[in-house]
Amino acid sequence: MSTASVQLPRWINYGAIPLINLVLAFVCSGLVVWAIGESPWEALQLLVAGALGRGEGIGFTLFYTTSFIFTGLSVAVAIHAGLFNIGSEGQAYLGGLGAALVALSLDRYVPWYVTMPFAIIGAALFGAACAAVPAWLQAKRGSHIVITTIMFNFITSSLMNYVLVHLLIVPGKMAPETRTFLPGGQLPKLDWLIAMFGGKLGAAPLNVSFLIALVMCFLVWVLIWRTKLGYEMRTLGISPSAAAYAGIPYAKIVMITMLISGGLAGMMALNPVMGASGRLQIEFVGGAGFVGIAVSLMGRNHPAGIVLSALLFGILYQGGAELSFDMPSITRDMIVVIQGLVILFAGALEYMLRPAIVRLYQQVAGGR
Amino acid sequence: MRPFFRNKGRKGEALGLGSASEPAIELVGIDKKFGAVHANKNINLTVAKGTIHGIIGENGAGKSTLMSILYGFYQADQGEIRISGRPVAIRDSQAAIAAGIGMVHQHFMLVEDFTVLENVMLGAEGGQLLAKGTSHARKELKRLESDYGMEVDPDAVVEELPVGTQQRVEILKALYRGAEILILDEPTGVLTPPEADHLFKVLRVLRDQGKTIILITHKLREIMAITDTVSVMRRGEMVATRTTSETTVEELAELMVGRRVLLRVEKGDAAPGNVLLSVRNLTVKDSRGVVMVDNVSFDVRAGEIVGIAGVAGNGQSELLEAIAGIRKPTSGEIWIDGKPAAGIDPRGLRELGLAHIPEDRHHMGLVLKFEEYENAILGYHRDPRYGRGYLLDLDAIREEAEEKIAKYDIRPPNPRLRTANFSGGNQQKIVVAREIERDPKLLLVGQPTRGVDIGAIEFIHKRIIDMRDAGKAVLLVSVELDEVRSLSDRILVMFAGKIVGEKSGDASEQMLGLMMAGIAA
Ligand SMILES: Nc1ncnc2c1ncn2[C@@H]1O[C@H](COP(=O)(O)OP(=O)(O)OP(=O)(O)O)[C@@H](O)[C@H]1O
Ligand SMILES: [Mg+2]
């Protein structure tokens, strides 16, 4: 109680505390690994080597990272305005439709770099559209955004099922997916980036959307901390009554924020749909929307933090896949447990250690 | 649990001769820094048992910090705390409670949905099963009430009680935990005058029964009325301690500020001009549909200060919020400088020339988590001078914030400090500076000097009068009758949502008091 008001230096708040939480998560994971009779140390080595050891592993890691950056940014933007957007998953899914429609209609006529800006806009528009209804319900009707965005995940899922199975499926085929885009509708791989560090990308799907994600990080930072709109969002997020006093229009800010948030989630689709598989497939989001919540929490809703925590989750995804391949007793489910522990310690239990650290800091700093 | 048996035999001790000089609290060489801010510098303080000790000092002098150290909210960097002669380490508030120290917070720490009894027991339930603890607590509460003359219905839900009664529950809570020493930090800021009188009665009874009380307040009148001894803090230092009966308000004021202070407001005659604010048949309902402002009409002219007097809760707050565009009126008209203003949002009203110092700075006037400079533009952040187009020009904003900090002597002079870390009075100055420096046509002012020290009160009052003399219209709402009387050129009295009468600024206190109680008109 008494430590909550103490302001800690940035390096502790944004550096030491997340790091300690992370170490704790790994210690707990290590115990789990040890309990099923494997060596934690060996498992950790396999995980890290799998994620960062070779050019291909790095390519996969950064591919996952890209998706998590988009969804993490989506969650963070909403949180700054006091809105908890649980719907990034569905918004990304619908964003895939936007990207695919652009790719399908342009890939025959123009090269990829002409298609790309339209695809970004298409993905963002569809993602935003998916967020628009919950936003409107929150702004005008007071329906809680958490509930409505969750429901929209289900609605989107059913909608996309219908669209893929009945409308976009290639006639005569069994798989509910679109045709493969021509090169004009695909985002090129970043072989050169990995090659710069002397590695080989191999089969890894790391592509141009990684760069788009980094640009979005910068734009989100500008939005939140350098624009008048961002100022209004933050005011509303921290103190709705001060926002009312300042004449900041609640409904308008809620709408705009959610549209931006949904748009960012929608852009996530560029990565798997246009960058990796080159077609729109069923369930391509695969939980990245939910991981975005943890990424945003752990990254303290700051773009720089989000890049780092998205990278961490990218490592866990890729390294975890390799680990369960190399150590058969560690199944996919075990990897999910480890990811869960990281989310638990870094996200949910973020403040568990804070009081103790504040005391320690006060003793050390006070003695000076 | 311990609190149940603590109080035995205390009366005899306290009434014994010579007990008055026995120290209850000794602070020795207390030192505390927050980064560059030296909040407490080598403080020594001794408070005798069974006395009421006042602590006064300017905003940011370090009073709350010192008390927070005594109550375990902060740790001192150096120094020792002795309770009844014994050194104690107070690491947190549990340790403070165990040492017999209770604190009545300015912002009450009560669970609003709980009853009085449940709140008093909270954290001291006495065992796993509630029933036993409850009956014990009920008995104990009865005894405390009759001992100290604090009647409170134990089964009333806290939320529904008036502020003064809620405060009594806070005191009972401390006593229930066996507090021998009570700390009250600006307890009267939120109270109506009768509630404050009642609080003082209770405090006297507590003292006479041997409790030791530390009272922080900015109102020297209260210091003179109730304390036995008084200490003055200035810029982190304890500069003087006096026996109250041997000092005067003037001396204390000078000790606090380091110069002579004008305790009376000096102002010339008003020269009223055009009507700048016109309110006609305004009715405002609260969120539950209760009529709070009932068919009110009045005018405020350029170059005059109109004060609204009334006991808190008679519709003044709602009236102010309706004019400021925060609350939608149910019916009626508002005209600002000849333009219709009812139903326009606060941003639009600011463009019409309205500025508003809100009553509740913590919830409305400031975003406490923002840095100071961010609050310096709240409500005006769309102004082109703070950045063209969509972007904010942070350099320009910080530069202007620094100018206001210098002009209004806001301490510490750091626009990058989190607003929550400014002391109460300095927070108020941030709001006042922002609103007045915009040079509005019409200024709405709610409780401008709540929690503000006398030097700053003098300053804020002067600014408000300057506004008037510069031909602005000022509408003032304050529960401090003194303030309304000394600033206003005309006084409107509100009772039960209606304006029950108008008096000139020099109306007598008794007259206004009767009108505020709905007796005279
Ligand atoms: N947590 C904190 N971090 C940084 N500075 C702080 C913190 N708490 C208080 N301060 C600073 O310490 C100084 C003393 O503050 P304190 O709240 O004790 O003043 P005060 O005497 O109670 O003033 P007021 O009468 O306005 O309530 C102020 O300059 C304040 O800004
Ligand atoms: Mg204080």
Q: Could you give the 3-state DSSP secondary structure of residue B472?
A: coil
The arithmetic mean of pLDDT across residues A212-216, rounded, is 97
User: Is A261 contained in some domain?
Assistant: yes
* Main-chain phi, psi angles of B3, to 5 degrees: -55, -30
Task: Enter the ipTM.
Answer: 0.85
pLDDT in the model for residue B10: 39
Please determine, for residue B8, whether its predicted confidence score (pLDDT) is greater than 60. Answer: no
Please determine, for residue A355, whether its predicted confidence score (pLDDT) is greater than 90. Answer: no
pLDDT in the model for residue A327: 85
B505 lines ligand 1 (CB under 6 A): no
A205 vs A16, residue with greater confidence: A205
The arithmetic mean of pLDDT across residues B173-196, rounded, is 86
Asked which of B14-18, B63-67, B114-118, B146-150 is least confident by mean pLDDT, the reply is: B14-18
Q: Residue A153 carries which side chain, given as an amino acid letter?
A: N
Q: Could you give the 3-state DSSP secondary structure of residue B183?
A: strand
pLDDT in the model for residue B163: 77
Please determine, for residue B423, whether its predicted confidence score (pLDDT) is greater than 90. Answer: no
Domains of chain B, by residue range, sit at: 25-257, 262-353+440-521, 368-439
Please determine, for residue B20, whether its predicted confidence score (pLDDT) is greater than 80. Answer: no
Please determine, for residue A49, whether its predicted confidence score (pLDDT) is greater than 60. Answer: yes
User: Is A196 contained in some domain?
Assistant: yes
Please determine, for residue A197, whether its predicted confidence score (pLDDT) is greater than 50. Answer: yes
User: Is A10 contained in some domain?
Assistant: no
Give the closest residue to B382 by CA, choosing from B405, B414, B355, B348: B348
Asked which of A46-50, A270-274, A335-339, B500-504 is least confident by mean pLDDT, the reply is: A335-339
Q: Are B182 and B213 in contact (CB under 8 A)?
A: yes
Residue B521's pLDDT band (cuts 50, 70, 90): low
Sheet holding B23-34, edge to edge: B37-48, B23-34, B78-83, B86-88
* Main-chain phi, psi angles of B244, to 5 degrees: -60, -40
Q: What is the pLDDT of residues B133-173, one digit of tens each?
A: 788 888 888 888 888 877 788 888 888 787 778 888 888 88
Can you give the pTM of this predicted structure? 0.85
The arithmetic mean of pLDDT across residues A329-337, rounded, is 84
Q: Which of A228, A238, A245 sits opposite B364 (nearest CB)?
A: A245
pLDDT in the model for residue B2: 40
pLDDT in the model for residue A264: 97
Nearest-angstrom CA–CA distance, B395 and B372: 14
Q: What is the pLDDT of residues A276-323, one digit of tens each?
A: 999 999 999 988 999 999 899 888 899 999 999 999 999 999 998 888
In this structure, the residue with its CA closest to atom 12 of ligand 1 is B39
Nearest-angstrom CA–CA distance, B521 and B500: 6
The arithmetic mean of pLDDT across residues B487-509, rounded, is 90
Strands B490-495 and B498-504: antiparallel
Share of chain A above pLDDT 70, in %: 96
Please determine, for residue A225, whether its predicted confidence score (pLDDT) is greater than 50. Answer: yes
In this structure, the residue with its CA closest to atom 9 of ligand 1 is B421
pLDDT in the model for residue A350: 66
Helical pair A228-238 and A55-80, crossing angle rounded to 10 deg: 70
pLDDT in the model for residue B327: 92
Q: For residue B311, how far is the Cα from the chain centroid?
A: 16
The arithmetic mean of pLDDT across residues B180-199, rounded, is 85
Q: Could you tell me which chain A residue has the CA closest to the CA of B73?
A: A2
B131 vs B480, residue with greater confidence: B480
pLDDT in the model for residue B4: 40
Average pLDDT, chain A: 89
pLDDT in the model for residue B321: 93
B13 vs B232, residue with greater confidence: B232
Give the closest residue to A232 by CA, choosing from B346, B437, B400: B346
Please determine, for residue B1, whether its predicted confidence score (pLDDT) is greater than 50. Answer: no
> Is B325 close to A242, i.e. CB distance below 8 A?
no
Tokens at A257, concatenated: 């924020």
Which CB contacts under 8 angstroms, 24+ apart, belong to B9-14?
Answer: B10/B180, B10/B209, B10/B210, B11/B209, B11/B210, B13/B210, B14/B49, B14/B50, B14/B209, B14/B210, B14/B211
B368 lines ligand 1 (CB under 6 A): no
Which residues are B212's β-sheet partners?
B181
- CB atoms < 10 A from the CB of A200, how many? 14
pLDDT in the model for residue B357: 95
Please determine, for residue B21, whether its predicted confidence score (pLDDT) is greater than 70. Answer: no
The arithmetic mean of pLDDT across residues A142-152, rounded, is 91
Q: Residue A3 carries which side chain, given as an amino acid letter?
A: T
pLDDT in the model for residue B11: 39
Residue A352's pLDDT band (cuts 50, 70, 90): confident
User: Is A329 contained in some domain?
Assistant: no
User: Is A94 contained in some domain?
Assistant: yes
Domain holding A182, by residue range, is 65-317
B286 vs B394, residue with greater confidence: B394
User: Is A220 contained in some domain?
Assistant: yes
Q: Are A106 and A185 in contact (CB under 8 A)?
A: yes
Q: Are B475 and B320 in contact (CB under 8 A)?
A: yes
Nearest-angstrom CA–CA distance, A136 and A7: 37
The arithmetic mean of pLDDT across residues A79-108, rounded, is 95
Taking a 5 Å cut-off on Cβ, the residues next to ion ligand 2 are: B 64
Residue A9's pLDDT band (cuts 50, 70, 90): confident
> Is A247 close to B391, i.e. CB distance below 8 A?
no
Residue A365's pLDDT band (cuts 50, 70, 90): low
Please determine, for residue B12, whether its predicted confidence score (pLDDT) is greater than 50. Answer: no
CB pairs under 8 A between A and B: 82
Give the closest residue to B256 by CA, choosing from B300, B219, B308, B204: B219
Please determine, for residue A4, whether its predicted confidence score (pLDDT) is greater than 60. Answer: no
Task: Please name which ligand lies nearest the alpha carbon of B411.
Answer: 1
Residue A357's pLDDT band (cuts 50, 70, 90): confident
Domain count, chain A: 1
Give the closest residue to A209 by CA, choosing from A129, A116, A302, A128: A116
pLDDT in the model for residue B373: 96
pLDDT in the model for residue A6: 63
Please determine, for residue B261, whether its predicted confidence score (pLDDT) is greater than 80. Answer: no
Residue B407's pLDDT band (cuts 50, 70, 90): very high
Same fold across B25-257 and B262-353+440-521: yes
Please determine, for residue A173, whether its predicted confidence score (pLDDT) is greater than 70. Answer: yes
> Is A246 close to B347, i.e. CB distance below 8 A?
yes
> Is B347 close to A247, i.e. CB distance below 8 A?
yes
Q: Which of A7, A234, A245, A248 has the highest number of chain B CBs within 10 A, making it the mutation to test binding with B?
A: A245
B422 lines ligand 1 (CB under 6 A): yes
B84 lines ligand 1 (CB under 6 A): no
Share of chain B above pLDDT 70, in %: 94
Residue B127's pLDDT band (cuts 50, 70, 90): low
pLDDT in the model for residue A7: 67
B507 lines ligand 1 (CB under 6 A): no
What is the CATH code of the structural domain delimited by B262-353+440-521? 3.40.50.300
Our CA-based measurement puts residue A363 at a distance from the nearest CA of chain B, in whole angstroms, of 9
pLDDT in the model for residue A5: 57
Q: What is the pLDDT of residues B78-94, one digit of tens each?
A: 999 999 999 999 988 88
| Fold type of domain B25-257 | Rossmann fold (3.40.50)
The arithmetic mean of pLDDT across residues B165-189, rounded, is 88
The answer to whether the peptide bond before residue B412 is cis (omega within 30 degrees of 0) is yes
Q: Which of A5, A238, A247 sits opposite B379 (nearest CB)?
A: A247
pLDDT in the model for residue A368: 38
Residue A227's CATH number: 1.10.3470
Asked which of A164-178, A301-315, B336-350, B395-409 is least confident by mean pLDDT, the reply is: A164-178
Q: Which of B346, B363, B391 sits opposite A246 (nearest CB)?
A: B346
